[in-house]
Amino acid sequence: MTEGSNLRPSFHGREFVLSPQDLVTFIESLVATFPNLRIYEHPRGTETVSEKPSPPELRFLVPSAVPDVRGASLEFNPEWTPQWRRIYGDHGFWVQTGVRYPSGELYTSEFVGEPQEGDPPHITRGRIYIRCEPGNKEHAAAARKVMQLLSKVATNKFQCVRYPSLEVIHRLTKGATLWIGHDAVRWAREAPDRMLDYSPGHKIGNRPLD
């Protein structure tokens, strides 16, 4: 695990649709595989204002708390400590510096359990990415392991449909770049109007394969 260099990092990432239970299961598998992993919520803007005399305190998360936040950072280095500086002078904001590799960012899916303004119950798209030091095979292997663990709690085979007719647009039987959690699939199958990665503007979303 190393400090950032002047070279651009390499990134490994995936997009997903995970229910809260899917996400907890995934995070638990990450913690079991990477015992030094620390996860913390992205600081809110109100917590980084320059009027505060010291940088914000990070809120570290246990797996069961991760679905309650919209964004979190992943730190794999046991020696990592947060570093801060102010930007734009004394009237700016506190920002973090000193990125270590590998590290990552997680943006969770939003669970919308009830219909809203003509749109169906749905789970939105989230994403994860891991940044690695360029050319570092150990970091790349760790990032691939993270993506492998995600694939164990999700499937990339589903069908894209129109709402509310549920007309099938295409069936992704050979796999897609989007991964849908097994519990999210279970939830969607419980009612025909439940959608996964739904687009309100286009009235299109995903459903489990028949």
- The predicted-structure confidence for 93-113, as pLDDT tens digits, reads as follows 888 887 788 999 999 999 998
pLDDT of 167 higher than 80: yes
pLDDT of 6 higher than 70: no
> What local confidence, expressed as pLDDT, does residue 86 receive?
80
State the average pLDDT over residues 109-130.
94
Amino acid at the residue 169: I
pTM over 0.75: yes
